[in-house]
Amino acid sequence: MTRQMTGAKMIVQALIDQGVDTVFGYPGGAVLPIYDEVFQQNSIKHVLVRHEQGAVHAAEGYARSTGKPGVVLVTSGPGATNAVTGLTDALLDSIPIVVLTGQVPTFMIGSDAFQEADTVGITRPCTKHNWLVKETDKLSGVLHEAFHVATSGRPGPVLVDIPKDVQFATGTYEARKPSTSHYQPQVKGDLEAITELAAAIEKAKRPVFYTGGGVINSGPGASQLLRELVEATGFPITSTLMGLGAYPASGEKWLGMLGMHGLYEANMAMHGCDLMINIGARFDDRITGVIDAFSPKSKKAHIDIDPSSINKVIRVDIPIMGDVGHVLEDLLKIWKSRGRKTNGEALAKWWQQINEWRSVDCLKFKQTGKTIKPQYALQRLEALTKDHDRYICTEVGQHQMWAAQYLNFEDPNRWMTSGGLGTMGYGFPASIGVQMAHPDALVINVAGEASWLMNMQEMGTAMQYNLPVKQFILNNERLGMVRQWQELLHGERYSHSWSESLPDFVKLAEAFGAKGILCKDPADLDDAIMEMLNHDGPVIFDCLVEKHENCFPMIPSGKAHNEMLLGEADTQGVIDAKGSVLV
């Protein structure tokens, strides 16, 4: 179906055709015609953020918690450049985002016009793909293609730059139809390779599933298949930060998160396994530790939809290119048809070993005295919220790692965190996006005070749309992770790693018209958390915690999985000069 309409109207029409219900944005000169169309319709909700970075993170939160693409609408120049951090964040974590930017009119491009920036040039390396649309007739096709590219294959952010004259001009609108684009990533895995993996599963003595964000991105069906596979084989499973929730934390095969601040049993299992089955993870440096000593004795299989992820960091023996859901379905079928065999005897021994590692109880801590330990705060938060319909966001730093360690995720799409880019300031706007998508759910942003301040302007957004997001700030008045590294690597010289002149968070909340809660005594913690949960509206929870608590376990830079530090006693002189170069 084709119709004549203005470019601005096409944009709204294309969003409606794509099933978009929410747009996060901020108006400006170069998008006024689009905002005029937004004003004249009721199908799409527009959320006015307070900074364009917030818009992109909110869209990421929306996307991660729903599986649908998040949509952003911002103006040219500074509107677009402010979106760059969010785009890069979405690129590294493979989050489908469609960003629409206004641009100066085509006849002014290149003249250093007011609020002109080379948006497609600037965002080329931080998007999966981007377009500058110079003709209104091409606009609808590009918009539909943008959604196709953002959501197909390995998902990612895309950007469409739309000059103002293209928005005003009239052209032909083409309705959404099945994509004829040449971009059609392969989703089915090679059956021969999958059969090879099935055979390896039958023989494995010390197997481990190592899963990542790819399982979540593949959709709830993939998580279901993963759970079936884990239960059927009885193999232990660990996951990256991005993959938490694909397999339930309450499952008995669950080893907890792996990696730099992962659990002892998870990292030891990775180091000692003889078959590693990587499902939708990418051997990130936070996971592998020093490459030369990474899981030295294992055969490695890698399921990934992105061919460039395979053999990029770690050479694997069984590469399988395809969508996790499709490959797991075939793998289960093939493995079952071959008789559902595993090496039961060896597996029992392997579990015995794993249970020994588990008995180290690497997350144990003692809550003593009158100061709240951050671990204790999260333990209580978990206990008091686990039965809620709950979504957790985080900022970046120690609190993020503690949240991953002490909170339990039972389902996919419940955990929103900036993994690849490590963007401080991600969590608060993300929690806004999550709450928009799930108005009745409990949305908590576990934050550090320093990260939280980076996008605190979004309190205005939370108030305007009455989004009852809970900002659970573990306030140690420090840039905790930076401080921890300075302690371990830089001779305890704490260069600029403390937060001075902090606001009074309770008064800050009140200044926005929200509720503020201060808690500093462990004895008051439960009541304070309940007060937060019972308040219908945004809450800033200022939880004053132990200032010098370090995050353990920790694989120090330049070390292997079996060289973890379990606590303070292990930290003396462990990181050598070579390791300290790494980040």
Partner 1 sequence: MSALKIKKGATSHSAYNLRPNFSDVIERHTLAVLVENEPGVLARVIGLFSGRGYNIDSLTVAEVDHTGHLSRITIVTSGTPQVIEQIKAQLGRIVPVHDVHDLTVEGKCVERELAMFKVTGKGEHRVEALRLADIFRANVVDSTLESFVFEITGAPEKIDAFADLMRPLGLTEVARTGVAALSRGD
Smallest distance, partner 1 to C-beta of residue 478, A: 34
Task: Give SS3 for 211.
Answer: strand
Q: State both tokens at 141.
A: 């096709």
Q: How far apart are CA 415 and CA 291, in angstroms?
A: 28
Q: How far apart are CA 498 and CA 415, in angstroms?
A: 28
Of the two residues 311 and 359, which places its CB atom closer to partner 1 in the complex?
A: 311
Burial class (CB in 10 A: 0-12, 13-18, 19+), 496: exposed
Catalytic residue of the set 481, 532, 554, 564 = 481
Of the two residues 122 and 540, which places its CB atom closer to partner 1 in the complex?
A: 122
Of the two residues 267 and 309, which places its CB atom closer to partner 1 in the complex?
A: 309
| CA trace torsion 258, 260, 265, 271 (10° rounding) | 90
Smallest distance, partner 1 to C-beta of residue 188, A: 8
Of the two residues 100 and 316, which places its CB atom closer to partner 1 in the complex?
A: 316
Smallest distance, partner 1 to C-beta of residue 555, A: 24
Smallest distance, partner 1 to C-beta of residue 407, A: 34
Exposure string of 115-145, with b = 16+ CB inside 10 Å and e = fewer, is bbbebbebbeebbbbbbbbeebbbbbbbbbb
Alpha-carbon distance values, 568 to 50, 259, 358, 487, 557 (Å): 41, 18, 19, 11, 16
Catalytic residue of the set 108, 115, 367, 463 = 115
Of the two residues 311 and 466, which places its CB atom closer to partner 1 in the complex?
A: 311
Q: Where are the alpha helices (DSSP H) in 338-373?
A: 344-358
Smallest distance, partner 1 to C-beta of residue 121, A: 7
Of the two residues 107 and 114, which places its CB atom closer to partner 1 in the complex?
A: 107
List strands edge to edge, sheet with 390-394: 415-416, 390-394, 442-448, 470-475, 539-544, 515-519
What is the contact surface with partner 1 in residues (CB under 8 A)? 120-121, 124-125, 128-129, 132, 149, 182-186, 188, 190, 192-193, 306-308, 310-312, 315, 319, 321
Smallest distance, partner 1 to C-beta of residue 129, A: 4
Of the two residues 188 and 349, which places its CB atom closer to partner 1 in the complex?
A: 188
472 is catalytic: no
Smallest distance, partner 1 to C-beta of residue 408, A: 35
Beta bridge partners, 296, equal none
547 is catalytic: no
Q: Given the DSSP bridges, would you call strands 170-174 and 157-163 parallel, antiparallel or unpaired?
A: unpaired
Residue type, 472: F
Catalytic residue of the set 4, 45, 114, 297 = 114
Smallest distance, partner 1 to C-beta of residue 131, A: 9
Alpha-carbon distance values, 560 to 174, 248, 270, 290 (Å): 55, 27, 10, 5
Q: Where are the alpha helices (DSSP H) in 454-576?
A: 459-464, 480-489, 505-511, 525-534
Is residue 74 a contact partner of residue 82, using CB atoms and an 8 Å limit? yes
Catalytic residue of the set 10, 13, 52, 257 = 52
Q: How far apart are CA 430 and CA 418, in angstroms?
A: 10
Is residue 518 a contact partner of residue 544, using CB atoms and an 8 Å limit? yes
Q: How far apart are CA 443 and CA 446, in angstroms?
A: 10
471 is catalytic: no
Of the two residues 186 and 355, which places its CB atom closer to partner 1 in the complex?
A: 186
Instruction: Write down the residue that tokens 């952010």 correspond to.
Output: 157
164 is catalytic: yes
520 is catalytic: no
Catalytic residue of the set 9, 68, 128, 164 = 164
Catalogue the active-site residues: 52, 114-115, 164, 481
